[in-house]
Structure 1
């Protein structure tokens, strides 16, 4: 993939802009971090050159001046909400993030649990767990009438009830495992309580997408819409900014709709409002760091198609006839003037299924080569495709058996006769384990294993919905997988 984003320019420009905004505020700045601070895989996919940890690398320029304040929603704890891209729950991801921040030398001492209620057993238990781990836990409560009842919100019975976080640095980055965690309310509550204590404090927002200074229907911004179809987010022109400054900028509907209330709350809390629009509140410099617009457009089109397939698969898994999300994703594809035919791995995978009458898979390597896999008595299509890709990258003859039938059959016997599996074919994880064992005696197997690192970022398409094992392996290898929205066999119960 061609690079389209200047990472080093972004790190420099973004850190400088945050420092400037703190100077404009003239006191303590609570900076709401929209999106993911770590592992921002969406940004890395649509802005080639933006590594998943670019934002945290940018904040490292300010490490000695800031502290990080994570928050998590009590309702997400109760629902046991899972971060889809990593497959772990929000509570575990919060702990993972804190460890990662501390390993990089950031100050993290406090955690806020938002929308806390004593009847929420999961939130109470998690608060106790955090306390036992040595963190300072602060409860922010449900405020009746939030966000419309400004009189109640900005009062001792609203923000005033929340447990104050006594931060020690003048730049406080508020982050969370995912959207809807209460970052904005945490920031405003803290700003309110700081002012009650005679400390000047302000608020700003760092939201990467949509990119405010790109056109409304630029593929990068459309890819953000596709990524948030379950949240009903829609990119819109910020009419407040257009009216105040005569400049057309892009924001998303929830921020624009909420701006009058947010402006009212900020004015009530601080006595003044430095912002005339949602765009004014932001500090995002990503748009200035796009070095190749065509590369970012192409990458974003692929992301839009992937999101369409994800919506289709999610609907198929749910077993309902509701096609709301895939319909929305289809509309976004139409806006981007693309279709599934623009995803290079789709047609080859479907061709394998049509030819063999059984599931197929296809992968596009970084040099553009398409590698396929078919269903055999020994291997599933994903496992076969993976082996073929490693052979190609290592320069090994495709006809050479890296894994002999004699090596595979004992694994099949173990699965079917002792572990209760009805499927004798090897999954991708079993193939990789067998390949690792073979590498002890086989130079070819060692060479093939060494090529695993070169699969990151490769596109894959399968003609059936993947099981959790194969999905997990592809996710661990950082490969971009789509699937046709169907199972190979109809059955009510599916064992991972």
Structure 2
């Protein structure tokens, strides 16, 4: 992928800007971290060159001053909301995050369960965390939020929330994903700190939407596609336009909450230090784009991937058609079609020709290899073997795994393990390939090509099993699939 973003420039500019913001406030700063803190793969896909752990690297420079509070929406716990890039629930991701932060040397002070209304699963999660020695606080829905400012900024509004005990001057509020209540947690804390006579400030660190590129730039449209299930909408910041006469981009939830924040600051300081939602942010990403066309193309590809993900969720009764319709609208605005993802027509056309499930994989040099389902291998396993052959310069007529080697594995699957599908999945193929590599130089050479697949594009003509999907994720492939089951069955 062509590099379009200067990550080193970003690290320098962003860390300096955050330090400047911290210095503007006295006793304490609540810094809302939007997106992913150390595995921001969306940013790395739409801004090629952006390192997924850039935010973490900046935060580590402030580790002695900072503590982390993780927010999770009680409704997300109740409905077992999945973080799609990792395939785990939000509550499981909270535990993962705590462990990851601790392993990196960062202090996690507590977890706050937001929008709590007595959800049983939230109570179970709270008890689990407390047994692990983690402090847990609860925040509640507020009637009239976000418009009834007088009620919100009162003892019956934010005053009902638990006060989160913190010990560091910089408090990072983060979460497993969007809609977790990070900003509301910050505002609630400002209210409680003010009652305790502590001068506290607030700032927002969120990569998207990027405020100083056009509203309909593909990078910003890709953010809308990523949050289509939340009904987030990018918009011109009307407060910034009025204050400065300059057009900047923000999104609806920040614009809606700005009057609340402004009113709270007026109660704390007698004035609001921010004239607009854009002023609240500290994002420098837009200043570090060095190849705009590369970022535009990467973002167009991301929108198509998000579209297929939404289609797959609908096919599995796990998503909403409204999400699909919204992304289709974004695609029209950006003049995008699915055929612009070159692996899509390659896989779909081959499936029509052969009448079997197929897969197409685009290699780093742009060449596309394909695979189809056979008696021995599924399409995913076939395209994987064909890809490593091509990358290793191995002749197509060479068997990396002998059929006589595959057949006993098939016998094990169907005869002893009760599987109805004798064909090898991708993980089974990789294990067989690694065993062959001990004695076969070609298999060894093929295995050594796997790292080259990271970041490559892959499309399949049918939805894959969780086994194949997870294997491709581990290999770093960008996978999409047609919203079609391989078999017309009632239960999958």
Matched, 1:241 2:275: no
Shift in CA distance, 381/97, structure 1 to aligned 2, threshold 3 Å: same
How big is the shift at 1:329? 1.4
Corresponding position of 1:162: 161
How big is the shift at 1:334? 1.6
Corresponding position of 2:387: 389
CA distance in 2, matches of 1:68, 1:355: 54
Corresponding position of 2:110: 110
Note the 1:100-249 alignment, pairs <5 A: 100-117=100-117, 119-249=118-248
CA distance in 1, matches of 2:433, 2:396: 15
Q: Equivalent residue of 2:448, what SS?
A: helix
In structure 2, the gaps of 5 or more residues are: none
CA distance in 1, matches of 2:485, 2:137: 46
How big is the shift at 1:411? 1.4
Cα deviation code 1:164-197 (max 9, x no counterpart)? 2222221111000011111111111111111111
Corresponding position of 2:250: 251
Shift in CA distance, 419/14, structure 1 to aligned 2, threshold 3 Å: same
How big is the shift at 1:460? 0.2
Question: In the comparison of the two structures, how many residue pairs are matched?
Answer: 492
Question: Where has structure 1 moved over 6 Å in runs of 4 or more?
Answer: none
Corresponding position of 1:66: 66
Matched, 1:57 2:57: yes
| Aligned mate of 1:331, from 326, 329, 332 | 329
Corresponding position of 1:275: 274
Kept in 1: contact 2:265–2:273 (CA 8 A) = no
Q: Equivalent residue of 1:62, what SS?
A: coil
How big is the shift at 1:269? 4.8
Shift in CA distance, 269/144, structure 1 to aligned 2, threshold 3 Å: farther
Kept in 1: contact 2:32–2:183 (CA 8 A) = yes
Cα deviation code 1:197-220 (max 9, x no counterpart)? 111101111111110000111111
**After alignment, is 385-394 or 56-65 more displaced?**
56-65
CA distance in 2, matches of 1:168, 1:138: 15
Matched, 1:340 2:338: yes
Q: Equivalent residue of 2:316, what SS?
A: helix
Q: Equivalent residue of 1:25, what SS?
A: coil
| Aligned mate of 1:398, from 396, 399, 421 | 396
Kept in 2: contact 1:29–1:201 (CA 8 A) = yes
Q: Equivalent residue of 1:68, what SS?
A: strand
Corresponding position of 1:284: 283
TM-score of the superposed pair, with normalisation by structure 2: 0.96
Corresponding position of 1:14: 14
Corresponding position of 2:370: 372
**After alignment, is 169-178 or 269-278 more displaced?**
269-278
Corresponding position of 1:488: 486
How big is the shift at 1:374? 1.1
How big is the shift at 1:2? 0.8
How big is the shift at 1:270? 4.7
Kept in 1: contact 2:250–2:277 (CA 8 A) = yes
Kept in 2: contact 1:154–1:268 (CA 8 A) = no
Corresponding position of 1:355: 353
Corresponding position of 1:46: 46
Cα deviation code 1:236-278 (max 9, x no counterpart)? 1111111110100011122223322332244335542111111
Corresponding position of 1:460: 458
Kept in 2: contact 1:195–1:270 (CA 8 A) = no
| Aligned mate of 2:470, from 462, 469, 472 | 472
**After alignment, is 229-238 or 268-277 more displaced?**
268-277
CA distance in 2, matches of 1:381, 1:303: 23
Corresponding position of 1:422: 420
Q: Equivalent residue of 1:109, what SS?
A: strand
How big is the shift at 1:309? 1.7
CA distance in 1, matches of 2:225, 2:435: 42
Kept in 2: contact 1:154–1:269 (CA 8 A) = no
In structure 1, the gaps of 5 or more residues are: none
CA distance in 2, matches of 1:330, 1:7: 31
Cα deviation code 1:287-336 (max 9, x no counterpart)? 0111111111111111111112222222222299x743222212211211
Note the 1:301-316 alignment, pairs <5 A: 301-316=300-315
